[in-house]
Structure 1
Amino acid sequence: MTAAAQWKKSSFSGGGEGNDCVEVADLRSRIAVRDSKAPTRATLTFPPAAFTTFLEALKSPHPSPR
Structure 2
Amino acid sequence: MTTPCDWQKSSFSGPGDGNSCVELAATPNTVHLRESDTPYTEVTTDPTPLAHFLHGIKTGRFAPRL
- After TM superposition, the score normalised by the length of structure 2 is 0.76
SS at match of 1:43: strand
- The answer to whether residue 63 in structure 2 is matched with residue 34 in structure 1 is no
Identity of aligned residues (%): 35
Contact 1:5 1:27 in 2 (8 A): no
Contact 1:5 1:26 in 2 (8 A): no
Structure 2 residue ranges without an equivalent (≥5): none
Change (3 A) 1:38 1:60: same
- The answer to whether residue 60 in structure 2 is matched with residue 56 in structure 1 is no
Which residue of structure 1 aligns with residue 6 of structure 2? Answer: 6
Measure, in 2, the Cα distance between the counterparts of 1:51 and 1:57. Answer: 10
Greater share of strand: 2
Q: What is the root-mean-square deviation in Å for CA atoms of aligned residues?
A: 1.9
How many residue pairs get aligned? The number is: 63
Which runs of 4 or more aligned residues in structure 1 lie more than 2 Å from their structure 2 counterparts after TM superposition?
Answer: 61-66
Structure 1 residue ranges without an equivalent (≥5): none
